Amino acid sequence: MAVRKIAVTLPEELFDMVERLREIEHRSRSEVFQEALRRYFGEPVYEPTDEERRLLDEALAEAERQPDAGLPWSEVRDGLLSE
């Protein structure tokens, strides 16, 4: 899939909202904006269950305690998305 980079100017309060969401959901800015656009255009968007979010939070906390013990986030995310 081809990708393109763009620059976007946001009001400070909207930028702060995006940054808070990124921190809570452990996502990149690109992921946040891609999902927002998909929702705007009515495309289906993956919604993790409460259990999936709980497991992810536990795994991230463990990764912070033992950074060299786990898998890279990209592998974990790809594994979840392929199920």
Number of domains composing the chain: 2
Domain assignment present for residue 65? The answer is yes
Query: Which pLDDT score, from 0 to 100, does residue 17 have?
Result: 94
39 Cβ contact partners less than 8 Å away, ≥ 6 residues apart: 45
- The H or E element spanning position 64 is helix 50-65
Which of 77, 61, 57 shows the shortest CA–CA distance to 69? Answer: 61
Structure confidence by residue, pLDDT tens digits, 31-57: 999 999 999 999 887 888 999 989 888
* Res 11: pLDDT: 96
Domain that holds residue 76: 50-82
Question: Residue 25 falls within a domain, yes or no?
Answer: yes
Residue 37 to residues 22, 42, 44, 75: CA-CA distances in angstroms? 16, 8, 11, 25
